[in-house]
Amino acid sequence: MKPFSILLIRLLAIYLAITPLLRASPLLFSPGYDAELAQWLPWLAATAVLPFIAGIVLWFSAVTLANKFLGEERAEPALTIAEEGLVRAGSFLIGVYLFVQHLSTAIGQWAWGGIVAYGSLAVVVLSIGLILGTRFLGKLYRWLKYFE
């Protein structure tokens, strides 16, 4: 289970790092981009660099995160999958994804036009709850599963 979790965390890291760069690539490769690049630099820095840095951090901390959510490796030959661990890991990854995407959107809108993106800031707050509340979400899942 742990190698699968590490793989998923690293796939999220690659997705976070590559997607904003692909969205910004038409600006970088357009003719006469020097004048336009100076105009779009705050947007580019907020929406491409922040997710790229988050992807690098996630890539190098994938093993540590997997150990935190799934515990240390047991010496059992059979594969056991704890549903609560999957819920905790999934909510953490969804929270990280939402945090990076909406924080970069909020910073980009503020840097570009001085507009405060309240919707993105609300999602940032909720994503922090998903990141920090993984233990609570695992317990909530277990309680709802056996509630009947």
Domain coverage including residue 80: 2-145
Q: Write out pLDDT tens, residues 2-37.
A: 777 787 888 888 888 888 776 766 666 666 656 666
Which residue type does 80 have?
Answer: T
Q: Are 138 and 87 in contact (CB under 8 A)?
A: yes
Question: What is the average per-residue pLDDT within 69-78?
Answer: 61
Task: Work out how many domains the chain is built from and give that number.
Answer: 1
Give tens-digit pLDDT for 44-66: 777 778 888 888 998 899 888 88
Length of the chain: 148
Higher pLDDT, 100 or 39: 100
pLDDT score of 113: 80
